[in-house]
Every structure is written in C-alpha cells, then in structure tokens.
Amino acid sequence: MALKGSPTARSAALVRLVRIVGIVVAICMFFGIADSGVSWAATPAIRSIRAIKKGASSFFALEGLAVNPETNTVYTTDGLELFVINGANDKVTHTLHVDSFGLGVDPVTGMLYVTNGKTVSVINGATDRVVDTIDVKYGAVFIAVNPSTNTVYVTSGKTVSVINGATDRVTHAIHLGAHVFAIAMNPTTNTLYVGLSENSYATYFGQAAANRLAVINGATDKVTRTIDLSSQAAQQLAVNPTTNTVYVGGNSIFVINGANDKVTHQLFVSGLMTVNPATNTVYVNNGKAVSVINGATDKVTSTLHVKSAGIGFAVNQTTNTVYSSDGDFVSAISFGNPSHSVVSGDSIWLAVVGLVVVGGGSALINVSKRRRLDAQQADEDGTPPQRYQRRR
C-alpha cells in the first residue's frame, strides 16, 4: 500500500498503520490466536465427499476414519467395506471388502491396520491390498499405532495386545483388570494411555463412564500409573506429543500434563476428539458442531456447525484438514496450510511429520528423523532395515 503526501504526512500515516496492526495483534494474543504462531484461513472451507456410491446396497453408515499425511490418503469404513480416498482430489480410489471397526496408520511404513473383532488385517498403502491377517487371542477392537517403534496396540475386553509391526505377530498381552474403551499413544515418550471402566456396557455414547486412565510404558509394557478421573468418562482419548498433553473426553474434557500425569484444565465441551500437533489445536465433534480449541490457552476459539453423526473423526496435520464421517459422506473441513508453527518444545517441520489418528487418539512421529536413523543402520550393517524390506 503506497502512502501519499509529504514526508511528515507519510510518517504520521505509517505510525497510525503500525498502531492499528499493534492493536489487532494485541487483541489476537488476548484471545489466544496469535500466540500459537499459526496463520489460519479466514473462513474454513467445508467439502462433502461421497464415499458410499449413491444407490449402493450398504446397510451401514460410515464409522471409523484414519489419515496418512505422508500420502494424503483418507481411509474410512462402514464396517463391511473400506474406502480409500485421495485427499488431493476427494475421489475414492479403491474399495476393499474388509470387515472393519478400528483403523490405524503407520505413516512411515505406509501400512494400514484394520481391526475386526478377532483379527487385524494389514493393508499395504502403496497397493491397497491385504498383505497379512493377524489372529489376536484376546480380540481386537480399538487400536493405536506407534510409528517410532513400529508397534501396534489393539484392545478388546480387559486386554491390550501388543503387535510387532515388522513381523505382524502378537508379542505381549497386557491384562488390565477392567474394560478398555479408549486408547491413544504418545510416540515421543513411548507412552500408551488406556481408558478403563468397571462397567462392561460402557460405550462411545456415554451410557456408562470409564473413570480411570492407565499409563503404560511402551518399552516395558507395564502400567506405571493409574489416574483416577472420578465421575469423568474416559471414552475418548487424544494426545499432542509435541506438548506432551493428553486429552480425556467424556461428558467434558480433562487436559492432563503428560510429564506429571496431573489434570491441568477441564473443558466443558464433549464429543469425538482429534488433535493437530502442528498447530497445537484440538477439535471436538459433538455430532452437530465442531469446536476448535487453542491448545496453548485451552480456550474454544470458534465453533463450526457441521452435521456429522458418525464415529469417525481425524485430521491431516500436513494439509490442516479435519475429516468426519456422516452416513454415506465424509465432511472435509480445510483450515488452510499454516505458514509456520511455534509451539512449546521443539519446532515442527510440517513436511517431515506424520500423524496417526484412530478413534480419537493421535500420535506424532518425526518421520524424517526415523528415516535418518534407518539409513544410518543400513550404512552400518550393509542391509536395509527390516521395516523397509520388500513386503508381500
């Protein structure tokens, strides 16, 4: 913008402009917008993607959702079929006939893991083919993935089964003595969080409350602490590994400091949760609207009225797009690519991080770092790491 007039007039105009900008920034910081260091799109763009073809004989609505930010691929299921969506053009590229409930992605290996009660189907994301089926003695419903260690965790009943992603074999079973209804992983600290309930009828929908949170060391598969949540349900879990923050959702949301396992805030919103660690933003979907929460201030910054009655909710942190399932469709809410991100802890390179989101859980892994370590391993022993050897 050109400032016209004498030097004095131009200087005065410049001072006024600086003051206006300063006031705007101050207001943004007061409301917790500017301090996240993220530039947002003024109005989020909302798109509707049809996953189930019109007239198709599906008796079920879309349920689970997972995103691979490395390939910009969205996965969703109606329980009987798995739909693969290209996030760049919102087109369904493949449909697989796979009984499914929980979906989990490893963005480093590109593998998709699908739970279906007693087994886990392993799908190669490069070919969209089932390459293995893992029998799980104690059952497999909910799922979380640790891309740092190439480990998959599945739950059913009172047990968490641990799967080696390199061999597709169950290596351990963690018996918790209470029913498991939510699971999430922090790959940075290698910590698994599990929502527990004494009531076998507790579900996503709040008929009963899971009132404890088990904290499990991923290196030893041992419970290190159990957090009493009183009357707070633990039916939804999400993790921001960058800030080491855990979000426990039920009839409200408890914010827990992962460093000391202490509850720091309670947010009076509820619904499905997902976290974008790149922008330090939490999204909560109650079926009628999506609340946007600034993770730095724990304040709701906006509410988007988007109908989404499904149980699938996930975010692609690279494109800054939130996906939710509803009937035959997937809603895509695009907030625009953040120009930069400054959050507490190490800075994030948006081009080299991956996010796994399953059933409200999220996990961040620095993909570039892990690949550098794998390359170093290859240089030392002369053979490629097992996770990158050719898969069936």
User: Per residue in 352-372, pLDDT tens?
Assistant: 222 233 333 333 333 333 433
Q: List the strands of the sheet with 272-276, edge to edge.
A: 272-276, 281-285, 290-294, 299-304
pLDDT at 389 (0 to 100): 38
Alpha-carbon span 113 to 147, nearest angstrom: 12
Alpha-carbon span 102 to 66, nearest angstrom: 9
Tell the residue number behind the tokens 């159990």, with chain if given.
226
Task: Give CA separation, 87 vs 74, 117, 124, 198, 332, in Å.
Answer: 6, 28, 17, 40, 9
Alpha-carbon span 353 to 22, nearest angstrom: 33
Nearest to 86 by CA among 99, 71, 73: 73
pLDDT at 279 (0 to 100): 96
Residue 383 has which token pair? 């053979």
57 by Cβ neighbours in 10 Å (0-12 / 13-18 / 19+) ranks as exposed
Alpha-carbon span 283 to 279, nearest angstrom: 11
User: Per residue in 36-69, pLDDT tens?
Assistant: 334 344 478 888 888 887 666 555 778 889 999 9
pLDDT at 272 (0 to 100): 92
Strands 191-197 vs 212-217: parallel, antiparallel or unpaired: antiparallel
- C-alpha 26: how far from its chain's center? 31
In sequence order, what DSSP letters do the residues of 84-134 get, joined into one string? Answer: EEETTTTEEEEEE----S-EEEETTTTEEEEE-EEEEEEEETTTTEEEEEE
Domains of the chain, first to last: 42-139+224-388 (2.130.10.10)
pLDDT at 250 (0 to 100): 85
Q: Where are the alpha helices (DSSP H) in the chain?
A: 7-30, 367-381
Residue spans of the chain under pLDDT 50: 1-3, 7-42, 202-207, 339-392
According to DSSP, the residues that pair with 262 across neighbouring strands are: 257
196-221 burial: b if 16+ Cβ within 10 Å, else e: bbeeeebeeeeebbbbbbbbbebeeb
The predicted model scores a pTM of 0.76
Alpha-carbon span 392 to 390, nearest angstrom: 7
- Do the Cβ atoms of 98 and 92 come closer than 8 Å? no
- C-alpha 359: how far from its chain's center? 8
Nearest to 163 by CA among 200, 128, 125, 121: 121
- Do the Cβ atoms of 342 and 37 come closer than 8 Å? yes
* CB count in 10 Å sphere of residue 83: 22
Alpha-carbon span 209 to 250, nearest angstrom: 8
Alpha-carbon span 184 to 142, nearest angstrom: 9
